[in-house]
Structure 1
Amino acid sequence: MTELTYLQGYPEHLLAQVRTLIREQRLGAVLQQRYPGTHSVTSDKALYQYVVGLKNAYLRNAPPVDKVAWDSKIHVIKNALGLHTAVSRIQGAKLKAKAEIRIATVFKKAPADLLRMIAVHELAHLKEKQHDKAFYQLCCHMEPRYHQLEFDTRLWLTQLALADGENLD
């Protein structure tokens, strides 16, 4: 049985379909057909503008995002696909908190919809800290196809691992 690292927790019937696509070497083609292009957000400045644009469209009352950056240190298996942190600093007699979002650099080459899913996920943490029902409702408010895009992101990461020669068996 193939261990699908990025797809743990999904129902067996879905995993069986993924294993079939892998065995028939069709996973990459299916993803390419579903998401034919990539995005053009490659610099930290462009990523900041992209994420803040989403925030302004859906979360105007949420705290501001002070920094958004690509991060090559995020390891997609051990940590996450992106990180949302609140950095507190003392400035004189005041304690200032700044929200920062970091997205794994592997997503520089991702389809635009998958980058959007990651950005929406991290933005949702501005209002909802835990991965609970309210969090996922907020994600779906910003991106109605959120759950499908999350699954497809995991498929895309699986395909990348296969292309890099990682043994998923």
Structure 2
Amino acid sequence: MRFLGGYPASTLDQVRDLIAQGRLGDYLARRYPERHDVRNDGALYEHAMALKQRYLRNAPLLSKVAYDDRLQVDQRALGTLTAVSRVQGGQLKAKREIRVAALFKDAPADMLQMIVVHELAHLKVREHDKAFYALCEHMLADYHQIEFDTRLYLTWRALDGAAAVTEITPPNT
């Protein structure tokens, strides 16, 4: 339950019950049946730039948005925003890059959206404070629920036998 630290005991008990009954994957499949079409770095860049244009027009530009298979989800790095400054001529140029953990290529669409929104919000607000989460909620209405469900998804993937599974399989009906 390493992805669910800080949640109330009653919530964790509900998650444990879903795991014990083998229904966590089914729960996630029902809540998030849609897959996204953002399969490569170019599509991810376009997706992020469309969100930036809609919600953060005056935020600094992004030079790159890419999936990164080196991000360590165990270290809680689902995505990163980095800024690299270089001197070119007499000017200081900053390049900003968003990297998203590669496992989100196969995650539900809302979860990828949540990661991108989170990293875009860091263009305006660096700290994880009230203003940051208000901006995230502005860009993605159910941000907090989707963040929790993403933590459930990561927990489900980390379970024995589920780690090799790349997609949530819908329940048999």
Residues 1-169 of structure 1 correspond to what in structure 2 (within 5 A)? 4-162=1-159, 163-164=162-163
RMSD: 0.9
Task: Give the % identical residues.
Answer: 59
Once residues 33 and 6 of structure 1 are traced to their aligned partners in structure 2, the CA distance between those partners, rounded to angstroms, is: 21
The TM-score, its normalising length taken from structure 1, stands at: 0.94
Instruction: Give the alignment's TM-score, normalised by structure 2.
Output: 0.91
4+ long deviations beyond 4 Å: none
Q: Look up the SS of the partner of 1:73 in the other structure.
A: coil
Gaps of 5+ in 1: none
Aligned-partner Cα distance in 2 for 1:11–1:80: 23
C-alpha displacement at 1:96, in angstroms? 0.2
Q: How many residues align?
A: 162
SS in 1 for 2:126: coil
Q: CA deviation at 1:37?
A: 2.5
| Amino acid paired to 1:118 | I
Q: Distance in 1 between matches of 2:34 and 2:5?
A: 27
Mean Cα displacement is larger for which, 134-143 or 87-96?
87-96
